[in-house]
Structure 1
């Protein structure tokens, strides 16, 4: 591990790491470059690997469940393994096996652990690393994680190990892809890494296209033709379409007379060009993000079927109903899973941006579902969570967990896409990216940012006039202009209604289109029609958090206040970190006012006002609710903050913003009088 030690010395400020650990291959622990003798116990090695990669301390009961199926004394065996690890890892002045209460952890902060080095680099972003660092990372892969015989009678650990091996396999591919892109196209080193990439991902079209481009650049057309023929036989054996890669080779040959491209550049340009619609086939579809949900696995024995398969089908169906992004159909992902293809490899074969995968465990009295969302190109884990429930009503529990998973996947992909769009030059954005750039500005809730959002939604629609979500976003910006009084209310209300109408014409099954129309109708004073559209939005997609929030918003003013509270709670359950969380909380506060529950209203309004992007109207809700609760000093504080930016703001502005019934108007005027907000 000489290269590893050099890397660690650089990372640790020039100091030699006390210990070096190789997990990517057969386990080796070295002290000062001298391998340390380890007991032959496979479970001890398994325990070390699990603790080394665990992000948090692990409970002893979990470790016993993980590694000892039916032992006489699982805790005794665990104590024996920990004592052996202490003898191997601890020094007189440093205890690396840390036990606190009933938990166990390893402190390897000053050690080199190859798998941790790779994980940290992927999290940091491989695109930020120089060539030397990428070479070091590529050299760390000496085999599969914890290479060696399977640990007997430990199905939970073996399921974990399979998942981790798949993750680091994907990391290896991502490192090679980035390294190849950084090397001269015709270098021997690039060819070596490309061969490894193809070996690791034999059905990845980008790997083959990059290798063909590199061979062509070196003038080795014969070798490229041989590789193409071999790859075609391989694809045909798996009944996979080879036409796109054959066309990519023709494009690469045509480029030989022009400006030479690096292997990855050629791969990206040819594959992406061939994936687009032909020039005579009409408008090009927007480059939506795409997702494959691989079948969840029952962790007991690593099998599929029954509960896990039904759960997977439900998640795919719910995500498809959101219509946020392209979701691969159930048949395709199950067909790949039947061939035991790893999720990340399946993602590459399906040419998707993200893959979701998970496990289901049913220990006595519990149901545990773990899920990961992975960005395929970089092998980065975008989101991971474990849900644990008591299965008193199994269908209700699965429904609740499914809601959380679907909403979290949607929110995390949207966040990644928004942030990626912000890093690109505005002139280079496609429709999908311009839409997400618009969302980024929209969620800032200022007049200037709202205008930026409007511009990017309009740009998205200019590029793709059939983009329903972009019309809904455009409607939202006009709605904000009317609601916040940033423009003529009647004119902006009309534009919000017009844009929502276009969204419905483009895609009547998109929940966001009905959400936009419901809000626009509320602006026009058509409450009954507004509620019909919003109910349609959540009927189309029960996981559409913004639809439930909008229902709460309308009901909180002149509908059913109890329904407003329920919809507010449900929207927050579906999207607990939503950019519109302040609105969800504020709607609940107004519903409590109408129920005469002023102290509850004040507490919910304070939570709304505490959100970092809360605007003046939310602060006004807090001021009025606190005044009604008799908390006058706090209420006057909010009133003073509002008048710093809006000196003439008064109760008529507040009442005019909403559509309260007469009894609610009287209550809010009463609160305003108490604090002089006239």
Structure 2
């Protein structure tokens, strides 16, 4: 029928009722189709991100109790050089101060992972102190010109923003190490922190004899601490350059070893045994040139990857003893304890690491969740796995979190949720197989590993 006919013809009542019924049928069919499409889209989205049910809690608001020690955060130092390529140097100065101050057992020092979050997000000092849960902030700037370096530092009371102490060091570049030590000792003195003999010795741990070796070392740390897979080799190249310039630079050998271990942890290599051997060689060299300060943290990491959990735990505890305020060392101990199935202590170590790193690095949160699974506290672990996925949805950590969700749901009899989590495991790693998982799993052979493998299988993974 043409358009003119529809506007002029008067339909009969019979034709009208027939058309009304047709329209109802058509609208009904359309509603069914739309509903089906919405359901299909919803199901598809479920596969791409596990739904977070109402019982989840925002654990990012959790704050572990404040310590009774003086508490300090070292903020990123400003690069006043005018050259963005020198950013590694200003970052390195702040990072080395964190490392030095962390040696003192009577001072609480916030981890780099939390303080450096403010580098691109400046705030009022009182707000930063409140977010980090600390009493004091150390901030500064670095300016370098050929053979001179100018470092300005100031210690601030985070409760009211008042400046407690400030100093400017305008020195020859060759005096850099002395300046770092002076700043560390001055901060401890102002805060009335007891300085132990062990801490003062650790300040000079494994320093190179040539400053250009130290520059390459700082570049290596800059790349390594970025935690990007593409930077692993760049970090190693910088450490290799450092030891080429100074073959007795023990700390550079230690971090070189860690770049090899990163290849295994991030699954960037299929040559696991060969890479482990190179890491062990680098640690052996570090011990040979600097026997007074063994790299226990790295030694724990190597033992754990070799599934020698007894030594991994021993070295992990010694690493914490060396630097009790270093969140990374508590995290490494947590990893060793969890893999060694000492879950109660693993939870305590992870919680300490998170207390020292209030911005909750996702790998710390993930390891706490796995430790809780080991304690069969599945309902407590589930929100933590979801936090990892929500904060880092496309990362390797999210993949590990989906595996954790699969097990936690299955072992708490939430089989539908377990199956959805398992589908996300396959989405993120289409080559997943139980055979490969059993072979590559960092867990030692025993009841816990068997429980996980059975849970994966029951949730539908093959």
Fold match by TM threshold 0.5: yes
Residue 627 in structure 1 maps to residue 411 in structure 2: no
- For residues 236 and 143 of structure 2, the distance between their equivalents in structure 1, rounded to whole angstroms, comes to 33
- For residues 179 and 214 of structure 2, the distance between their equivalents in structure 1, rounded to whole angstroms, comes to 6
- Give the stretch that moved more between structures: 541-550 or 440-449: 440-449
Superposed CA deviations along residues 503-545 of structure 1, whole A, max 9, x for unmatched, are: 222223436x111112112222322222222222222232233
Cα distance, 1:441 vs structure 2:
2.3
Question: Does the Cα contact within 8 Å between 1:552 and 1:564 map onto a contact in 2?
Answer: yes
Question: Does the Cα contact within 8 Å between 2:126 and 2:161 map onto a contact in 1?
Answer: no
- For residues 390 and 458 of structure 2, the distance between their equivalents in structure 1, rounded to whole angstroms, comes to 23
- For residues 467 and 525 of structure 1, the distance between their equivalents in structure 2, rounded to whole angstroms, comes to 29
- For residues 459 and 638 of structure 1, the distance between their equivalents in structure 2, rounded to whole angstroms, comes to 45
- Which of 381, 384, 409 lines up with 1:604 in the alignment? 384
Cα distance, 1:272 vs structure 2:
4.0
Residue 478 in structure 1 maps to residue 250 in structure 2: no
Alignment of 1:183-262 (within 5 A): none
- Which of 218, 234, 253 lines up with 1:436 in the alignment? 218
Residue 292 in structure 1 maps to residue 71 in structure 2: no
- For residues 641 and 447 of structure 1, the distance between their equivalents in structure 2, rounded to whole angstroms, comes to 22
Residue 508 in structure 1 maps to residue 389 in structure 2: no
Residues 640 and 463 of structure 1: CA distance in aligned 2, closer, same or farther (over 3 Å):
farther
Residue 456 in structure 1 maps to residue 235 in structure 2: no
The TM-score, its normalising length taken from structure 2, stands at: 0.55
- For residues 359 and 263 of structure 2, the distance between their equivalents in structure 1, rounded to whole angstroms, comes to 24
Residue 569 in structure 1 maps to residue 348 in structure 2: no
Cα distance, 1:463 vs structure 2:
2.1
Alignment of 1:477-556 (within 5 A): 477-487=259-269, 488-510=271-293, 513-556=295-338
Cα distance, 1:459 vs structure 2:
1.6
- For residues 458 and 518 of structure 1, the distance between their equivalents in structure 2, rounded to whole angstroms, comes to 22
- For residues 466 and 475 of structure 1, the distance between their equivalents in structure 2, rounded to whole angstroms, comes to 15
Secondary structure of the 1:313 match is coil
Q: Identify unmatched segments of 5+ residues in structure 1.
A: 1-53, 58-121, 128-155, 175-203, 207-267, 277-285, 298-307, 327-428
Superposed CA deviations along residues 402-450 of structure 1, whole A, max 9, x for unmatched, are: xxxxxxxxxxxxxxxxxxxxxxxxxxx9322322322232234443221
Residues 291 and 659 of structure 1: CA distance in aligned 2, closer, same or farther (over 3 Å):
farther
Correspondence for 2:433: 650
Q: Identify unmatched segments of 5+ residues in structure 2.
A: 1-123, 128-138, 145-156
Superposed CA deviations along residues 11-64 of structure 1, whole A, max 9, x for unmatched, are: xxxxxxxxxxxxxxxxxxxxxxxxxxxxxxxxxxxxxxxxxxx8669xxxxxxx
Residues 312 and 615 of structure 1: CA distance in aligned 2, closer, same or farther (over 3 Å):
same
- For residues 287 and 430 of structure 1, the distance between their equivalents in structure 2, rounded to whole angstroms, comes to 16
Superposed CA deviations along residues 245-295 of structure 1, whole A, max 9, x for unmatched, are: xxxxxxxxxxxxxxxxxxxxxxx7xx446x59xxxxxxxxx8995442466
Question: Does the Cα contact within 8 Å between 2:296 and 2:315 map onto a contact in 1?
Answer: yes
Superposed CA deviations along residues 81-114 of structure 1, whole A, max 9, x for unmatched, are: xxxxxxxxxxxxxxxxxxxxxxxxxxxxxxxxxx
Superposed CA deviations along residues 327-361 of structure 1, whole A, max 9, x for unmatched, are: xxxxxxxxxxxxxxxxxxxxxxxxxxxxxxxxxxx
Cα distance, 1:469 vs structure 2:
2.2
Residues 595 and 489 of structure 1: CA distance in aligned 2, closer, same or farther (over 3 Å):
same
Name the structure, 1 or 2, with higher relative contact order (CA <8 Å, separation 6+).
2
Aligned residues: 306
Residues 439 and 613 of structure 1: CA distance in aligned 2, closer, same or farther (over 3 Å):
farther
Question: Does the Cα contact within 8 Å between 2:206 and 2:290 map onto a contact in 1?
Answer: no
- For residues 537 and 614 of structure 1, the distance between their equivalents in structure 2, rounded to whole angstroms, comes to 32
Superposed CA deviations along residues 454-512 of structure 1, whole A, max 9, x for unmatched, are: 2122122212222222212111111122233322011011111111222222223436x
- For residues 645 and 536 of structure 1, the distance between their equivalents in structure 2, rounded to whole angstroms, comes to 37
Correspondence for 2:72: none
Residues 123 and 563 of structure 1: CA distance in aligned 2, closer, same or farther (over 3 Å):
closer
Question: Does the Cα contact within 8 Å between 1:295 and 1:312 map onto a contact in 2?
Answer: no
Residues 566 and 649 of structure 1: CA distance in aligned 2, closer, same or farther (over 3 Å):
same
Cα distance, 1:640 vs structure 2:
5.6
Alignment of 1:294-313 (within 5 A): 311-313=192-194
Cα distance, 1:627 vs structure 2:
2.1
Secondary structure of the 1:659 match is coil
- For residues 419 and 223 of structure 2, the distance between their equivalents in structure 1, rounded to whole angstroms, comes to 31
Correspondence for 2:83: none
Secondary structure of the 2:431 match is coil
RMSD: 4.1
Correspondence for 1:559: 341
Cα distance, 1:563 vs structure 2:
0.9
The TM-score, its normalising length taken from structure 1, stands at: 0.39
Residues 461 and 124 of structure 1: CA distance in aligned 2, closer, same or farther (over 3 Å):
closer
